[in-house]
Amino acid sequence: MGILRKGVAYMKKILLTSVALAALAAPAAAADLAVRPAPAYKAPPPIVYYSWSGCYIGGNGGGVWVNKNFALDNVVGPFGGGVFFNNAIGLGSHTASSGIGGVQAGCNYQVPGSGWVFGIQGDYDWMSAQADHVDPFLGLTTIHSKAKSLASVTGRVGYAWDRFLGYVKGGGAWEQDDYAWFVTAAPGIGIAASETRGGWTVGVGGEYAFTDWITGFIEYDYYGFGTRTVGFPVIGGVVANLDIKENKSVVKAGINFKFGPGPVVGRY
């Protein structure tokens, strides 16, 4: 029994000593916690979106293909406008091609918080697309055409994925053409005419913003100019009227310099 009492007393001493040491250590630990700095919170970087809103001006270049179909509608005399020949005769067709180059300018508006982009654009291009063919009716004459210029005013609707914009366009178009109809064996003998005609155009393209202020694009445009009657003065007030049907295809690429709002900062 004496040994047991001694053991219990010894255990009590150890327990009391441990409690005392823990009580002494607690304030020191609390002090350490009090002076330890809290971790700093860093907000994530903001998301920056490219804005297509603004106006631009630039240049373009590419290729053009012009399809023309000719028919002799009538020949009109000098007296009272009398028609002494009226029987539409097919005179064949040809396709002319050349390079094309010009300028364009326009403005875009991107709906806030959306990828939809609406715009308007005007362009003017120079070309020298010329070709000729021998008429299939008699095989004695040659018809020559030269497309000189092309202009359009179009509306654009597109959708942007940040710096890439896909779009469609459509509107009115105008062109200038020269013609010559001459004897195949004697090119110096012939008649000539010129015209400016209006039509319509539709197109599709893609544009990418290389920097906040410089974008590049590539597009395909189709132009429909329908059928127009063009008068070729012959001699003494006699005019040969040819019905000329035309359409064009244009593939071009270009650079735009943008003016307007910069990138838009989005939410976190």
At 140-172, the pLDDT tens digits run: 999 999 999 999 999 999 999 999 999 999 999
Phi, psi of 41 (to 5 degrees): -95, 130
Residue 4 pLDDT > 50, yes or no? Answer: no
Give every CB contact of residue 263 below 8 A, 6+ residues apart in sequence. Answer: 48, 49, 50, 51, 212
> Rounded CA gap, 100 and 116, in Å?
30
Q: What percent of the chain has pLDDT over 70?
A: 76
Q: Write the CB contacts of 265 (distance below 8 Å, at least 6 apart in sequence).
A: 46, 47, 48, 49
- Alpha carbons 254 and 206: distance in angstroms, whole number: 11
* Burial state string for 110-138 with b = 16 or more CB within 10 A and e = fewer than 16: beeeebebbbbbebebebebbbbbebeee
Domain count, the chain: 2
pTM of structure: 0.79
Q: How far is CA 212 from the centre of its chain?
A: 17
222-251 confidence digits (pLDDT tens): 999 999 999 999 988 889 999 999 999 999
Q: What range defines the domain where residue 199 resides?
A: 52-265
Q: What are phi and psi of 238, to 5 degrees?
A: -80, 130
**For residue 109, is it within any domain?**
yes
3 occurs within a structural domain: yes
In a domain, 204, yes or no: yes
Instruction: Note whether residue 47 is domain-resident.
Output: no
Helix, coil or strand: residue 18 = helix
Q: Which pLDDT does position 175 carry in this prediction?
A: 97
Let me know whether 78 and 32 are in one domain. Answer: no
Residue 13 and residue 117 share a domain: no
pLDDT in tens, 199-221: 999 999 999 999 999 999 999 99
Please indicate, yes or no, whether residues 32 and 119 belong to a single structural domain of this protein: no
Residue 135: strand, helix, or coil: coil
Which pLDDT value is given to residue 9? 56
Query: Mean pLDDT in the chain?
Result: 86
How many beta carbons lie within 10 A of that of residue 5, not counting itself? 9
What is the model's pLDDT at position 268? Answer: 44
State whether 59 and 3 are in the same domain: no
